[in-house]
Amino acid sequence: MNALLSKVLDAHGGLDRWKHYTEVTASIVSGGGLFALKGLPQDSDPRRMTVWLHQQRASVLPFGAPDQRTVFTPDRIAIEKLDGALVAEQYAPRDSFAGHQMNTAWDPLHRAYFNGEALWTYLTTPFLLAMDGVRVDETEPWHEGAETWRVLRAYFPGSIETHCLVQDFFFGADLQLRRHDYTVTIAGGFAAAQLTSDYTEANGIRLPTKRRAYLRGPNRQPIRDLLVVSIDIADVRFE
């Protein structure tokens, strides 16, 4: 295993502890300009997110109606009633984004897919970097004011549904995540710099509870006037 990644995993609770759990639940509140741009403005109501840790599976409740939830897996996105009755579904969901640009309108299944792949990525970071098929290399450090952040570049296999195949993760001197860079391939490949802060500990696992994704400029700096997505996370439980 990459030496920096090993230290990062220890700083977030340790890989052995992580393997002991199977899922995480959390309250999430989302915002930012992307959803209005997609024709689906996001309200500020909290929702309950469930992410499975060792397989790509996620669900958010409620979604679209009080008695509805999503079911996300790499090969299928669905909206269903709490009793299991199907509302809508799409197989090979990534294919439905073909030709999309940043301002292309989404339907509810597009929104559900984005929520599933994004929150699965965020709530399993940094441990997803140790998954089979993921390669990581340490790249040149990033200087942020007086701080120097170490950077892991992750190369994801096509079998993992996430924002893009190559992503950068920035860690401070305490080895906590400070920033996450990626491109959103399902929305025209726009570049994002997501800043992370306000760490919490849940069942021995440490994770940031505030995420703010901005458009990333050509100098790799986040454009602070262009907030794309905001996510606040609370009441986290690993089970």
pLDDT of residue 157: 95
Residue 75 main-chain phi, psi, to 5 deg: -105, 5
DSSP state of 99: T
Segments of 11-134 assigned E as strands: 23-31, 47-52, 58-61, 68-73, 76-81, 86-91
pLDDT of residue 60: 97
pLDDT of residue 100: 94
- Residue 128 near residue 136, CB atoms below 8 Å: no
pLDDT of residue 218: 87
- Residue 47 near residue 62, CB atoms below 8 Å: yes
pLDDT of residue 236: 98
Instruction: Indicate the domain borders of the chain.
Output: 3-238
pLDDT of residue 109: 97
At 9 the three-state DSSP class reads helix
pLDDT of residue 186: 95
- According to CATH, the superfamily of the domain at 3-238 is Lipoprotein localisation LolA/LolB/LppX (2.50.20.10)
pLDDT of residue 226: 95
Residues of the chain with pLDDT under 70: none
pLDDT of residue 42: 84
Residue type (1 letter), 170: F
